[in-house]
Amino acid sequence: MIPGPFEYHSPTSLAEAIDLLGQYGDEAKLLAGGHSLIPLMKLRLAQPAHLVDLNSVPGLDYIHEEQGHLRIGALTREVDVEYNALILDRYPLIADTARVVGDPLVRNMATLGGNLAHGDPANDHPATMLALRATVAIQGPNGERVEPVDDLFVGLLTTILEPDEILTEIRIPVPPPRSSGTYIKLERKVGDYAIAAVAVQITLSPDNSVVQAGIGLTAVGLTPIRAAAAERFLIGKQLDKAVLQEAGERAAAAADPSIDLRGSAEYKRAMVAELTQRALMKAAARVMSNGS
């Protein structure tokens, strides 16, 4: 299908992009990788009169650690996250997530900022950023605000971003020693959106009890979900069979899945319980093998 008519804008600075968004308000949409927005426009589910393309705005594409945080520019492509040496070495949860987003064609274009800003609970990075307790930097006409990723998602395809605001950076606290994580996604076929997926990030003490736990759930609610009760339950415990099972059950209880072609609510909850246990075991094995 062919999108409706729109005027195309290509600002060369963040200030110009924010100005354009302010000028056209609800009539405008930001364009990043285009891999969520353009399909919606082709289906005429989105019909913005103005497209404000972020791709000529410099300085939004980077991955580095600074002041205790991993900082990822919003325009960083999935492919650059997937193969980044720092991420592969110290943030395996993010690497695991990037490599299961769509297919290589999607990952060449899709951006991390777009994956979060779209507010789709079936997207993979939101749960991961919940598990990592990330914050997002948002620029608007009144300057920058920094918000916990927990507060970003308010409903299906709905975030706290105002029409004239741009998500510019994702900030992830540098994990303490003996931390690791993983993302496990159940999909109908390679490249598909998740039936359900679980992101886990843990820190273990020298005797292998859990010091910190982050658990995020994908595609089992109207927003990505933090499995807070499971996280709390894990603190101070060693990951034996009973603890894993209880954590899985608590994570499943946090899920609120809908019934669709990917399965019943009961099935998806059962998958969350199972994936949570597997992810906890894999994350713990990673800590014990190399500490990251």
Binding residues vs ligand FAD (CB under 6 A): 29-37, 39, 74, 101-102, 106, 110-111, 113-115, 117-118, 123-124, 161, 166-167, 193
Q: In a 3-state reduction of DSSP, which class is residue 59? A: coil
**Sign of the dihedral defined by the CA atoms of residues 113, 117, 121, 122, in that order:** negative
Closest CB 207 distance from ligand FAD, rounded Å: 37
Closest CB 152 distance from ligand FAD, rounded Å: 10
Give residue number: closest CB to ligand FAD.
114
Tell the burial category of 278 from Cβ atoms under 10 Å away from its Cβ (0-12, 13-18, 19+).
middle
Q: How many CB atoms lie within 10 A of CB 204?
A: 23
3 state SS for 217-269: EECCCCCCEECHHHHHHHCCCECCHHHHHHHHHHHHHHCCCCCECCECHHHHH
- The smaller minimum CB distance to ligand FAD, of residues 32 and 186, is found at 32
- The smaller minimum CB distance to ligand FAD, of residues 32 and 70, is found at 32
Q: How many CB atoms lie within 10 A of CB 289?
A: 9
Closest CB 31 distance from ligand FAD, rounded Å: 5
What CA–CA distance (Å, rounded) separates 146 from 78?
22
Of 178, 213, 187, 183, the C-alpha closest to 199 is: 183
Which DSSP helix (H) or strand (E) runs through 96?
A: helix 92-98
Closest CB 194 distance from ligand FAD, rounded Å: 7
- The smaller minimum CB distance to ligand FAD, of residues 43 and 235, is found at 43
Closest CB 139 distance from ligand FAD, rounded Å: 9
- The smaller minimum CB distance to ligand FAD, of residues 56 and 290, is found at 56
- The smaller minimum CB distance to ligand FAD, of residues 36 and 223, is found at 36
- The smaller minimum CB distance to ligand FAD, of residues 117 and 284, is found at 117
Which DSSP helix (H) or strand (E) runs through 64?
A: strand 63-66
